[in-house]
Amino acid sequence: MRAYARTHPDFLSLKPKAIVMDLAQMHHTWISECFPDTIRIADRFHVHGYVIESIQVVRKSVQHRLAPQAKAILKRDQPATHNPPGDSLSEKSKIRLNALFAFSTLLRKVWEWKEAFSHWYEYSPNVQVAIASFHLWLQQGENMDHESAQSTLKTMRNWQNDIIKYHLCRWTNATVEGRHNRIKAYQRRHYFICNRECYKAGVLVECNWHRLSG
């Protein structure tokens, strides 16, 4: 990456206000060298993914301790624990979610922690409030008695400055990441396609289907 920057002076002449990134330290180091005055924002959906992963790990650990019928219910209805947000769930989904929480108090706590994080992103009115409420959210995480939750908490503490900067400039890579995921899904479905032009056309259709169907 440093070699690229040296051989492309036009890249270094850019003056971005902010750059949205994942949590790869080498990328942050490189960008800080190239653009020291640019705001580096930890991408919201990458960050949120760590909390979602905690729920999944906790759910699996709970699932292993249950009777076969309860285990099947928890596995079947597990999407309700992470998607969509709790305040947009239908009444039927809320009933299913509460049924899952009957299996584990810890699962409920981690889900509530995830919901609080979503609300922090959505409703913090400014960066000052975001800083204070983020620290409260970290304190809430300290009550999660599970290795996965504590690992996520450590990551959040280490990256809190770049996470909070979202509230200085509310940009995300959601559109780019969404298209990237569609391309990967298309590649898996058409792994042995021989015609390169058909493959390229298929990727374009896959990434722009919402426009074509509108």
pLDDT, tens digit, for every residue of 56-67? 999 999 998 888
Say if CB 120 and CB 129 are below 8 A apart: no
Q: pLDDT above 70 covers what percent of the chain?
A: 98
How large is the average pLDDT for residues 130-151? 95
Are 60 and 79 within one domain?
yes
Are 35 and 68 within one domain?
no
Are 162 and 120 within one domain?
yes
Are 8 and 92 within one domain?
no
Are 38 and 49 within one domain?
no
Looking at the 3D structure of the chain, how many domains does it have? 3
Q: Predicted confidence band at 42 (pLDDT cuts at 50, 70, 90)? A: very high
Query: From residue 36, how far is each of 2, 9, 27, 29 by CA, in Å?
Result: 14, 16, 13, 10
Token digits for 14?
């850019």
Count CA within 13 A, CB hemisphere, residue 78: 19
How large is the average pLDDT for residues 107-124? 95
The parent domain of residue 194 ranges over 174-213
Q: How many CB atoms lie within 10 A of CB 164?
A: 19
3-state helix, strand, coil in the chain (%, to 5): 70, 5, 25
Are 184 and 128 within one domain?
no
Q: Predicted confidence band at 214 (pLDDT cuts at 50, 70, 90)? A: low
Mean pLDDT taken over the chain? 89
Residue 192 has pLDDT above 90, yes or no: no
How large is the average pLDDT for residues 30-47? 94
Q: What is the pLDDT of residue 213?
A: 66
Q: What is the pLDDT of residue 166?
A: 97
Are 75 and 16 within one domain?
no
Token digits for 1?
């990456």
Q: Which amino acid is at 128?
A: Q
Are 100 and 8 within one domain?
no
Are 202 and 153 within one domain?
no
How large is the average pLDDT for residues 90-101? 88
How large is the average pLDDT for residues 8-26? 92
